[in-house]
Amino acid sequence: MEMYTSKRSRKKMIKNKLILTWITVLLLITQVDAFTTTNGSITFEGGITSGKNNNVSSTNYITYVVVGEPTDTLNSSNFKTNVGLLRTLPYLNGEACEVNAECVGNFCCSNVCQSTACPVQKVITPGGGASAAAGGGGIFIQRPPEKDFSLSKDAIKIELSLGEEKSETLTITNTGRSYLNFSLSIGGEIKEFLTLSDISFTLLEEESKTISLDFIGKRVGSFTGSIIVKGDNIEKIIPTLLEIESEVVLFDVKLDIPSEYKKIRPSDELKAQITLFSLGPPEKVNVTINYFIKDLNGDIVLEETEILTVQNQLSFLKSFKIPEDSELGTYTLSIEVLYADSFAVSSEIFKIVEGIKELEIAKYTTIISYIILTIFIISLLISIYFVSNSKYRTIKRSYRDFNQLFEEAYSKIKNNMYKEAVIIYYELNSAYKELLEYPFEDKVKIHMYKKIRQVYEELKKIKENKK
């Protein structure tokens, strides 16, 4: 009995030791924060503590012991093992991410963690609605470009008298998602006549600034140029025309480029409608006309002069052959009218572009429109003809059928076939009601009614005679 008890005690002791050993191993495993393996050696980083992802700090420093995403490969010629640990703490601001749940600030914006909501912008549709967006195949959100800006004017034209001053304004708005450093400059002939109130500034997102453009008429003439606006690496150009006339004007001039010639190709003809008005005595006088085509730098591409005799008013269409080697871009056509001490000027902007000019497009579009309209009218007339003719044939056939029924009814009555005559009478009456829907003359309707009445009276006599 003692031997049996001793064996039981030893087995229980061994069992307890095994349990204690397993508990120790498990505790050691759960206390290791991180380790790496390099060339067969094992290095422990951090410390063995009672918890994971500890915050080991003091008043002088803060240390986050975090299991990152270490991965490594243990291999030999016989095996290969990939080692990796699961991250248990969220990412800090500025760290890469994929979803909001991975970030300590709960926002993953453009794959970077942050503690504020991601910026979005609604896009207004032409119908007045807005497109918003969220992930997961829901609503679409279109964000504004990283850097961009808008201008309140796309072209400027100023008319002055000699010595006159005039101011315009230009508003610049930052429409991007980051601040922009702006610089403004003046190009072309207008440099000596234009002053800008500010040429260098910074605009934050959605911020605007209004610049004063101050012009002065120092000398008569037509002058071209541009205002160049740069926002970091983005550049936008505003074509600018300046017309300066003499203080006393004896002739006025108006130049108009038709819309189909606002864009033309090199070697094409540019056409303009020109009208001269005499503001002096109503007599014939000779005036000198100067024509200029310039680029925005003020370089002359084409120049022409002629003398015209004018009394009261003169209007004409003028053509200019564009040089074949002209560069693509924005140009101005100007006309200067000189008479005695009077100087008048007028100008317009046009562009030299590649491809089919708008005049040809408009011409072909007009031709096609006329063809389509003609086909439509012809088709409509043919349809009306066939419908009318078909209706006429239907009426004619129905009227013929009515008369045939009348003849059949009378034939049955003459042959004492009362029952057959009654049946035909009802058919005749139905045909009459259908014919009343057509636009017959009243005398025709009365004639048909008399025939029906005639058959009715004959049937009535037969019925009375049978009684």
Complete DSSP assignment for 65-106: ------EEEEE-SS-EEEEE----SPBPTTSB-SSGGGBTTS
Beta strands in 263-312 (DSSP E): 263-264, 269-278, 285-295, 300-310
Q: Does residue 2 belong to any structural domain of this protein?
A: no
Mean pLDDT: which of 88-92, 94-98, 126-130 is highest? 94-98
Amino acid 8: pLDDT: 56
- Section 118-135 average pLDDT: 46
pLDDT for 303: 93
Per-residue pLDDT tens over the stretch 232-266? 989 999 999 999 999 888 888 999 999 999 999 99
Asked, for residue 107, whether it belongs to a domain, the answer is: no
Share of the chain above pLDDT 90, in %: 37
Q: Quote the tokens at residue 31.
A: 């206390």
Residues of the domain holding 198: 119-245
**195 and 260 housed in the same domain:** no
Overall number of domains in the chain:
4
Whole-number pLDDT of residue 128: 42
pLDDT at 269: 92
Q: Is residue 103 part of a domain?
A: no
Please state, in angstroms and as integers, the Cα–Cα distance from residue 320 to each residue in 57, 192, 301, 314, 329, following that order.
83, 29, 11, 19, 17
What per-residue confidence (pLDDT) applies to 251?
86
State in Å, rounded, how far the first CA of the chain is from the last one: 143
Give the number of other Cβ atoms within 10 Å of residue 174's Cβ. 22
Most confident of 49-63, 320-334, 343-357, 430-444: 320-334
Same domain, 130 and 239: yes
Structure pTM? 0.48
Q: Which residue has the higher pLDDT, 294 or 72?
A: 294
Please say whether the beta carbons of 201 and 216 come within 8 A: no
224 vs 410, residue with greater confidence? 224
Q: Are residues 340 and 458 in the same domain?
A: no
Q: Please identify, among 219, 245, 271, the residue that sits at the C-terminal boundary of a domain.
A: 245
User: In DSSP terms, which residues pair with 314 in a beta bridge?
Assistant: 276
CB 295 within 8 A of CB 331: yes
Domain boundary among 230, 245, 260: 245
Task: Tell me what pLDDT residue 66 has.
Answer: 44
What are 149's strand-pairing partners? 174
Torsion on CA atoms 279, 283, 288, 292, rounded to nearest 10 = 50
Comparing CA positions, the residue from 264, 332, 320, 325 lying closest to residue 295 is 332
The Cα 307–Cα 317 span in angstroms is 15
Which of 245, 276, 293 terminates a domain? The answer is 245
Q: How far apart are CA 108 and CA 359, in angstroms?
A: 53
Lowest mean pLDDT among 93-107, 138-152, 238-252, 444-458: 138-152
Is residue 43 a part of any domain in this protein? yes
The confidence band for 132, taking pLDDT boundaries of 50, 70 and 90, is very low
Cβ-contact 96, 112 below 8 angstroms? yes
Distances (CA, A) of 240 to 184, 337, 345: 14, 21, 15
- Higher pLDDT residue, 175 or 85? 175
pLDDT on residue 92? 78
Domain with residue 307: its CATH number is: 2.60.40.10
* Residue 6 domain-assigned (yes or no): no
Q: Are residues 256 and 238 in the same domain?
A: no
Phi, then psi, of 68 in degrees rounded to 5: -75, -120
> Which is more confidently placed, 208 or 390?
208
Residues 317, 279 within the same domain: yes
Is the domain of 413 the same as that of 428? Answer: yes
pLDDT in tens, 389-447: 677 788 888 888 888 888 888 888 888 888 888 888 888 888 888 888 888 788 888 88
**What's the confidence (pLDDT) of residue 452?**
85
Same domain assignment for residues 33 and 129: no
Residues 404 and 456 in one domain: yes
Q: Is the pLDDT of residue 4 over 70?
A: no
Q: Is residue 294 exposed (0-12), middle (13-18) or buried (19+ Cβ within 10 Å)?
A: buried
Same domain (yes/no): 334, 366:
no
Question: What H or E segment, with its residue span, contains residue 409?
Answer: helix 358-414
Alpha-carbon dihedral sign for residues 297, 301, 306, 310: negative
Looking at the DSSP assignment, which residues form a beta bridge with residue 330? 351
Segment of 73-87, 93-107, 134-148, 280-294 carrying the highest mean pLDDT:
280-294
Contact 308, 314 (CB under 8 A): yes
Write the pLDDT tens digit of every residue in 268-304.
Answer: 999 999 999 888 777 888 999 999 999 999 999 999 9
Residue 204 has pLDDT above 90, yes or no: yes
Q: For residue 111, is it within any domain?
A: no
- CA 265-267-269 angle, to 5 degrees, is 80
Do residues 220 and 284 share a domain? Answer: no
Q: In this structure, is residue 266 part of a structural domain?
A: yes
**Dist CA 197 CA 190 (whole Å):** 15
Task: Classify residue 101: in a domain, yes or no.
Answer: no
What is the DSSP-derived secondary structure letter of residue 189?
G
Does residue 317 share a domain with residue 237? no
Tell me: do 318 and 277 sit in the same domain.
Answer: yes
- What is the amino acid identity at position 71? T
- 24-36: string of b/e by CB count within 10 Å (b at 16+)? eeeeeeeeebeee
- At 349-393, the pLDDT tens digits run 999 998 654 556 666 677 888 899 889 899 888 878 777 667 778
